[in-house]
Structure 1
Amino acid sequence: MSTSATVPPHAPSDGPSRRPSYRAVLGVPYARRTFAAALLGRLSYGMVPLALLLAVRDTTGSFSAAGAAMALFALTSVLLSPARAGLVDRHGPRRTLPPMAGLYAVLLLATAAATARPGAGPLTLGALVAAAGACTPPLGPVMRTLWRGLLPDPALLRRAYSLDGVAEELLFVTGPLLVGLLLPVTGPAGAVAVGAGLVLTGTLLLVATPAARAVPVAAAAPAPGEPVAAGEAAGGDGPRGGRGLLRRAVLAAAATGLALGALDLMVVAFAEERGRPEAVGWVLAALSAGSAVGGLALGALDRPLPNTARLPLLTAGLGVVLAAAGFAPNLPLLGAAAALAGLFVSPTVTTAYLVADEAVAPEARTRAGAWVNTAFNAGSAGGAATVGLAVGQLPLSLCFVLAAAPALAAAPLLSGALFRGAFRVLPVRVRDFGGGRPLRKSDSGTGPAL
């Protein structure tokens, strides 16, 4: 592997012997500049889905067409994420992100132009939107890779990942609000164009940072996203095997996504049952607030459990709270339950990213993070679809229990011994993530607590 620049790992005054803080994370050389650029680009991801939905709806006059277009956008964006991240690992962010972001922005602008006037064909819009989704630059996984290069100290890295997760949560709240502010001025097509400008600007600023120049690039790697037969790895599926760790991270992310995707729909059903549909917003806001608090608390812990030990506990906690939420007698208590469930969301996803990061070689971290991200998003879509079939057919309290079942079932598998041999069909090769070498004790999370 090779790098084209050297980035100081951390400020001299913030050594491991001193208590790290979020201020110490942002005080690392180049951290503020790099993080701000990534957040600027990722703000587009909070804006574009809603803006595209409204733009397609306005020009076609059909919610069905708009929903189908957004399903295509989500499908290509989520399923191709590991392949795009693999290109970044193979060729580096400076060579791959600008073309991706440029093509993504051009396709969004083409969609904005097509929706600026009524009458655009649904097939044309669907093709444009699907193509844009396929080109979505993986700014989140790339930023987490950059954090690892900037912060080799594990305590600071955990704080950085927690801060990153909370900031991402806030972006997905801020993005729709920004679309709402733009609609009276630019219309939905204009909001799509603004989203295109944000992702292109943020990406170009990101790759211009010294941190992006220092990302290790694989000297030789298999084709991104190429599948392999199960069981091909020297590392094995044990607690210290890279494949086992990565699959645990993916499983936890998928279970969390399933729970959240189902919860959104169940909150709507719960509020409508009680004649208070307007309450959906503040219940989901309580979920987001709880998630932000949980993420910041995780980063602030002095001596947390190792990542692999923490992951099943967080997943189980989310499942238990979600199952209990279905028995809330009223909306205020449901909001409290949602806030409590949120306390587990950001820590679970953050820990999954940390476990995935530990499982792989430096030149494969972007792809490993993309697998976690893909699992979460796919789980969210699957949770919404599955519960959508159950709501109205089953008591709502039972729907909450069913939505919690994947998280509860995943928890014992994530504990280690029961995971061995499970889920061997996941199409991820260990040699794609560092040759399948056995992890050192500190890598596996069984050494000193972070």
Structure 2
Amino acid sequence: MSVSRASYAAVLRVPHARRTFAAALLGRLSYGVVPLSVMLSVTRACGSYTVAGGVMALFGGTAVFLSPARAALVDRHGPRRALLAMNAAYLTLLALLALCLCLSRPSALVLAPLAAAAGACCPPLGPTMRAVWGHLAPDRGLLQRAYSLDGVAEELLFVTGPLLVGVLVGLAPPAAGILFGAALMGGGTVAFVTSPVVRAVRPGKGTERRGGGGGLRRLGRPVAAVAAVGLAIGVADLLIVAFTESHGHGGAHAAWLLAAMSAGSAVGGLAHGAVSWRSATGARLPLLTAGLGLTLCAAGLAPGIVTLGVAVAAVGFFVSPTITTGYLLADESAAPEARVRAGAWVNTAVNAGSTAGTAVAGASAGRLPIAVCFAVTGVVVLMTAAAVTLRPFGAGRRVPV
């Protein structure tokens, strides 16, 4: 491996890259604003954490698990038509949800279907932007840096979004955050689809109907690897909180530890993207996954807050590179007409793994020592790395369509 001469600045110097990327990031900032705003709004309006949790589960569930279906619409009809239609439905439903939450004692029977429908219509700007990077940066080295930059920027959005909500709720009711998030998505989507490079993307050719599947049948191993990353994130987030509480520290220490893991992920993602790898994408994926598993096992040995901070930063160092490599491998495996779906499946796997990890950690943290929970999670990730290594990925070859 060697450090590439092409910098991240070279990615942004590609024609139309800055405008398109900025528009996508503006819309994707809504992902970090709307969920928390919905949670706070429902809690305040209904006075029930149970109702708020149920509404959020429906919103998040349809947003995450229907992402491949929405991506299929983008592949089939093109980003301009599909994203504008989803954007209109999403904004309308969020506006109705905000209106209902401004009423006195809104009914959960009304809020729940509105939230579920809004999540189902959420425009998949992330997977679409990653597919557009393939048009902007056809060179594999440049595309690797573009994906790394995209991944780090998206992670920062999920930190910035809740901070903006925190400022906004000090000035206005939480329902205003829903409308603010809708405005971000509306403006970002319109700016994104009017970019010249996005307008040039043509609808797909119905690869499934012709029997090829667009290469999507070959996504099993990258999806498994990034699902393991999501599992690790979900477990680590909860175990960090449990660790600080067991050592008599407050929430501020947990926040710093979570920030250390995010910082490690950002550093790892940028470092990974700056290297020109001689090894194939499929060969790197199990090695990065194994590195994540080993650092998780090591985190369980940390005796105190400082050492755990170092350990979770090391865990984070492998998070972004593994996810980026999963996206790269999915892009290599999929036909051009199925790139958005391929990225959506990887994105769904990360989110599903994180949800499962949080649930598993919540059930086991009170019954098992925290060190054991870290170790068991690390072993599961290592087993996934071994499964991913079983046979070559055949990176770079596409399924005939």
TM over 0.5: yes
Long gaps (5+) in structure 2: none
Q: Which residue among 275, 295, 310 is the counterpart of 1:321?
A: 295
Identical amino acids, percent of aligned pairs:
54
Partner of 2:121: 135
SS of residue paired to 2:303: coil
1:263 equivalent to 2:249? Answer no
Residue-by-residue CA offset, 1:286-342 (whole Å, 9 max, x unaligned) = 011000001100111133532101100111111111121112111111111111111
1:159 equivalent to 2:159? Answer no
Partner of 1:40: 26
Partner of 1:385: 359
Number of positions where the alignment pairs a residue of Structure 1 with one of Structure 2:
393
Partner of 1:75: 61
1:29 equivalent to 2:15? Answer yes
Q: Which residue among 148, 153, 171 is the counterpart of 1:185?
A: 171
> Do the aligned partners of 2:37 and 2:165 also contact (CA within 8 Å) in 1?
yes
Q: Shift in Å at residue 164 of structure 1?
A: 0.1
Q: Shift in Å at residue 123 of structure 1?
A: 2.1
SS of residue paired to 2:191: helix
CA–CA distance in 2 between the matches of 1:355 and 1:234?
A: 16
* 1:101-140 alignment runs, 5 A limit: 101-140=87-126
> Do the aligned partners of 2:293 and 2:378 also contact (CA within 8 Å) in 1?
yes
* 1:407-426 alignment runs, 5 A limit: 407-417=381-391
Q: 1:233 to 1:153 in 2, by over 3 A?
A: closer
1:352 equivalent to 2:326? Answer yes
Q: Shift in Å at residue 61 of structure 1?
A: 0.5
AA paired with 1:274? H
Q: Shift in Å at residue 19 of structure 1?
A: 2.3
AA paired with 2:169? L
Superposed CA RMSD in Å reads 1.8
CA–CA distance in 2 between the matches of 1:247 and 1:214?
A: 30
The alignment's TM-score, normalised by the length of structure 2, stands at 0.94
* 1:202-281 alignment runs, 5 A limit: 202-222=188-208, 242=215, 245-278=218-251, 279-281=253-255
Q: Shift in Å at residue 219 of structure 1?
A: 2.4
CA–CA distance in 1 between the matches of 2:113 and 2:258?
A: 32
AA paired with 2:90? Y
Q: Shift in Å at residue 406 of structure 1?
A: 2.6
SS of residue paired to 2:276: coil
> Do the aligned partners of 2:234 and 2:358 also contact (CA within 8 Å) in 1?
yes
> Do the aligned partners of 1:291 and 1:346 also contact (CA within 8 Å) in 2?
yes
Q: Kindly indicate which of the two structures has a greater share of residues assigned to helix.
A: 2
Q: Shift in Å at residue 363 of structure 1?
A: 0.8
CA–CA distance in 1 between the matches of 2:109 and 2:29?
A: 28
Q: Shift in Å at residue 234 of structure 1?
A: 9.6
* 1:422-433 alignment runs, 5 A limit: none
> Do the aligned partners of 1:259 and 1:406 also contact (CA within 8 Å) in 2?
no
Residue-by-residue CA offset, 1:63-119 (whole Å, 9 max, x unaligned) = 111111111111111111100000000000001001101111111111111112441
SS of residue paired to 2:50: helix
> Do the aligned partners of 1:216 and 1:362 also contact (CA within 8 Å) in 2?
no
Partner of 1:7: none
CA–CA distance in 2 between the matches of 1:33 and 1:412?
A: 41
SS of residue paired to 2:171: helix
Partner of 1:429: none
AA paired with 1:127? P
Partner of 2:71: 85
Residue-by-residue CA offset, 1:188-221 (whole Å, 9 max, x unaligned) = 1001110001001100100001111222422234
1:52 equivalent to 2:25? Answer no
CA–CA distance in 2 between the matches of 1:408 and 1:219?
A: 39
> Do the aligned partners of 1:245 and 1:355 also contact (CA within 8 Å) in 2?
no
Residue-by-residue CA offset, 1:330-372 (whole Å, 9 max, x unaligned) = 1111111111111000000000000000001101000000000
CA–CA distance in 2 between the matches of 1:75 and 1:406?
A: 24
Q: Out of 180-189 and 401-410, give the one that drifted further.
A: 401-410
Partner of 1:436: none
Q: Shift in Å at residue 39 of structure 1?
A: 0.2
Q: 1:260 to 1:357 in 2, by over 3 A?
A: same
SS of residue paired to 1:186: coil
CA–CA distance in 2 between the matches of 1:243 and 1:190?
A: 40
Q: 1:304 to 1:46 in 2, by over 3 A?
A: farther
> Do the aligned partners of 1:387 and 1:399 also contact (CA within 8 Å) in 2?
yes
> Do the aligned partners of 2:333 and 2:396 also contact (CA within 8 Å) in 1?
no
CA–CA distance in 2 between the matches of 1:144 and 1:271?
A: 37
Q: Which residue among 259, 269, 274 is the counterpart of 1:285?
A: 259
Partner of 1:197: 183
SS of residue paired to 2:6: coil
> Do the aligned partners of 2:207 and 2:213 also contact (CA within 8 Å) in 1?
no
CA–CA distance in 2 between the matches of 1:364 and 1:285?
A: 35
> Do the aligned partners of 2:216 and 2:338 also contact (CA within 8 Å) in 1?
no
Partner of 1:397: 371
